[in-house]
Amino acid sequence: MKMTKIALLASAMMMGNMAVAQAAPVKIAVLMYGNKAEFVQLMERYGKEHPAVKSGDAVLTFYDGRYDASVQNDQAATAIQTRADAIIVNPMDFEANIDIVTNANEAKIPVVVTNARLNTE
């Protein structure tokens, strides 16, 4: 009987924590190769218009990679350290940004690669 009460209490506490977690917006870091590109400008504009962003359910943080893979890698490290819930990356190059995926996977942060490919699985 005591174990049943502990299990019920633990379940209630978990449900309470889940409700709190769901109330916080999803933080998404968007790592773009460079803000001068038309594709990047369109992606940022439409990202800001997304219903989840407008409702406050999601927060997008756009990073300008300044056409430099090492800048993008540093920005990914910042996104991981600040515990982004997800990362979207438009990579500078097929090989140069592999660490973004590797480090995010180690931190259990999902990564979506857009408009290009990375040499990763």
The per-residue pLDDT for range 49-67, each reduced to its tens digit, is 999 999 999 999 999 999 9
Q: Render pLDDT for 7-60 as a digit per residue (tens, 0 to 9).
A: 444 444 445 544 444 579 999 999 999 999 998 999 999 999 999 999 999 999
Question: DSSP character for 68?
Answer: -
Supply φ then ψ for residue 37, to 5 degrees: -70, 140
Please indicate, yes or no, whether the overall pTM of this predicted structure exceeds 0.95.
no
Over range 83-107, report the average pLDDT: 91
